[in-house]
Amino acid sequence: MQGIVVSMLWPSGDSPAPAFDLCPWLDLRLIPISELIEQLDQLPHRRIIKTHSPADCIPIYTACRYLAVYRDPRDAFVSWANHRRTMRPELIEAMNADASSDGVAPWTPRWSGDLDDLWQEWVDWGTPMEHLASWWPHRGQPYVFFVHYADLQQDLVGEMRRIATFLDVEVPDDLWPAVVDRCGIAEMRKAHETSMLAVAFDGGAASFFNQGGSGRWQDLMPDHLVRSHEQLAASQLPADARQWMERGSLVSGWRP
């Protein structure tokens, strides 16, 4: 989503930096908040802010625009396994140092590869279902736009045009093909070869942007963890939210 927004704001492909570096991540505790605020204050262009925080942890300003981005939680878990496998130990140790001051249990610097252990860590940290539950009451509001990864895969052009309308961004018609092309996974890997991802993950951007598919959980997630997901999803989300989160708008036939 960061890449999509940056591609649309700089439709000629002349953005001053990779998307990861143009979108200050305010809840990334590794960077002092004072530095991030200073970075925001110095931006000469429209501000783009990244957050993993749920809706009840951030201020809501109706003049702003919020893109709430989700994917099938089971695929999110499989993706998290790739992140934990390739995330560099020194990065995790730095995060653990901050977390300990808040009483948060540390992660092991290197994941053992045990999916059961990772599942428990993932649940303790906060599931995507809990995150969506915080934003779900805002659906229908003009300042919130729900985006599903499966929809981007199925109709990237159409979804990007809808996002552009929501953000009030005008892209010249003749530049749309290039704007869309820059948002493929291969292009994302290339654009972020020198971004912060290069030092955060073994293998850099090529590792972070792993495969970019949907439905991989069916081959990689054991049955007992699939059942655990089903129980959690049923307890953390209303039925319509769960259906949308697992299927997206184009398959389910309706949009939040």
Confidence of residue 170 (pLDDT cuts 50, 70, 90): very high
- Separation of alpha carbons 229 and 243, rounded Å: 13
pTM, full prediction:
0.88
67 compared with 85, residue with greater pLDDT: 67
Query: At residue 206, does pLDDT exceed 70?
Result: no
Contact present, 99 and 212 (Cβ < 8 Å):
no
Contact present, 7 and 183 (Cβ < 8 Å):
yes
78 compared with 188, residue with greater pLDDT: 78
104 compared with 157, residue with greater pLDDT: 157
Q: Count of domains in the chain? A: 1
- Separation of alpha carbons 228 and 213, rounded Å: 22
74 closest CA partner among 1, 149, 134: 149
Q: Please, which residues have CB within 8 angstroms of residue 225's CB and are 6 or more apart in sequence?
A: 77, 115, 116, 119
217 closest CA partner among 119, 77, 112: 77
Query: At residue 155, does pLDDT exceed 90?
Result: yes
CATH number where 164 lies: 3.40.50.300
What's residue 154's pLDDT?
A: 93
Determine the structural domain holding residue 148 and report its residue range.
2-252
- Separation of alpha carbons 61 and 55, rounded Å: 11
Helix (H) or strand (E) holding 147: strand 144-148
Query: At residue 115, does pLDDT exceed 70?
Result: yes
Instruction: Give the chain's radius of gyration (CA, Å).
Output: 18
Query: At residue 202, does pLDDT exceed 70?
Result: no
Phi-psi region of 216 (alpha: psi -120 to 50; beta: other; left: phi over 0): alpha
- Separation of alpha carbons 250 and 238, rounded Å: 19
Query: At residue 84, does pLDDT exceed 80?
Result: yes
Contact present, 74 and 221 (Cβ < 8 Å):
yes
- Name the residue type at position 41: D
pLDDT tens-place string over residues 123-143: 988 899 999 999 999 999 999
What's residue 158's pLDDT?
A: 96
Confidence of residue 168 (pLDDT cuts 50, 70, 90): very high
| Mean pLDDT, rounded, for 166-188 | 91
> What do you get for the CA distance between the two ends of the chain, in Å?
18
What mean pLDDT is reported for the chain? 88
